[in-house]
Amino acid sequence: MKVNINAVHFKTDQKLEYFIQERVDKLTNYYDGILGSDVHLKLDNNGNPENKIAEIRVMIKGYDLYAKKQCKSFEEATDTAVDALRKQLKKHKDKLKKK
């Protein structure tokens, strides 16, 4: 699956990009109709230690699924966003089975 990673106002390292690619790729285990995904990483300047934001958009036929999570690290934010997307994909798949 094609995963576009976009970091806003900073440069990501290879280790973080590999981690994100690996986690987002696992979503294909739950739904094989994923066309691609976009990941946006941001830093929130509010002084809060939980200032890392990961926004993930997964494109499937007819829909876009979206999750935005804010945590202490980009890895943790990515994990929680992928978990949210996993639930959305399962729900979408169940809805398709009922038709």
pLDDT along the chain (99 residues), means of 10: 90 94 94 93 85 95 93 95 96 86
Question: Two tokens at 61?
Answer: 């036929």
Domains along the chain? 3-98 (3.30.160.100)
pLDDT of residue 74: 94
Please tell me the pTM assigned to this model: 0.91
82 within 8 A of 56, measured Cβ to Cβ: yes
The sign of the CA dihedral 26, 27, 32, 35 is: negative
Distance of CA 44 to the CA centre of its chain: 18
Q: Strand 63-71 and strand 52-60: pairing?
A: antiparallel
